[in-house]
Amino acid sequence: MAAFKNSISKRFKMKDLGSPDICLGIKVRHDRKARTVTMSQEHYLRSVLETFGMADCKPVGTPLCTGYVDKPADKEEPLPDVPFRELLGSLLYAATMTRPDISAAVSILSRRMQHFGMDHWKAAKHLLRYIKGTLSCTTCTNREGGSFGC
């Protein structure tokens, strides 16, 4: 790592601030003794909850409501004026970076980005309620592999 930093500093003006604490909205913790890297997006997800008016919501235990059926929106139903696509875009970032537990729900809801209805919006808000209850979840990696936990 020292050789890489030295090489880069010869080409670019830089200041070594040590290991990153936050990178691209992801809190990074290095435990050199245990040889692990733990990542969390708690701060990012709190801002998502605030942006979509769900900061004070009641948490739930599942990413999608029990019995959710992914069906197309009713053709007669007018598209609701809600930020469905923006919400899923925000959650897609978290799902791909540190939150594998929401990946399936985000994927299922993303199928309806083009034509969504109120049932899809309610399911997306349910997912936010799940996130509210699991803000402290982290992804941890080491030489043997990775793990996810709350």
Would you place residue 150 in the very low, low, confident or very high pLDDT band (cuts 50, 70, 90)? low
- Higher model confidence: residue 117 or residue 146? 117
Residue 11 lies in a domain: no
Residue 52 lies in a domain: yes
CB 120 within 8 A of CB 112: yes
Is residue 97's pLDDT more than 90? yes
**Residue range 11-37, pLDDT digits in tens:** 999 888 877 788 888 999 988 898 899
CA distance 150 to 142: 17
Residue 78 lies in a domain: yes
- 99 Cβ neighbours under 8 A, 6+ residues apart: 41, 45, 131, 137, 139
Is residue 149's pLDDT more than 80? no
- 43 Cβ neighbours under 8 A, 6+ residues apart: 22, 25, 27
Segments forming the whole domain that contains residue 135 = 19-145
Residue 14 lies in a domain: no
**Residue range 45-86, pLDDT digits in tens:** 999 999 999 999 999 999 999 888 888 877 766 666 899 999
Q: What is the pLDDT of residue 55?
A: 97
Of the candidates 107, 84, 78, the residue with the CA atom closest to the CA atom of residue 94: 107
CA distance 26 to 38: 10
Is residue 44's pLDDT more than 90? yes
CA distance 3 to 8: 9
Q: Looking at the 3D structure of the chain, how many domains does it have?
A: 1
- Higher model confidence: residue 133 or residue 118? 133
Q: What is the pLDDT of residue 16?
A: 83
Report pTM.
0.84
- Pairing mode, if any, of strands 138-142 and 22-23? unpaired
Residue 5 lies in a domain: no
Q: What is the pLDDT of residue 80?
A: 67
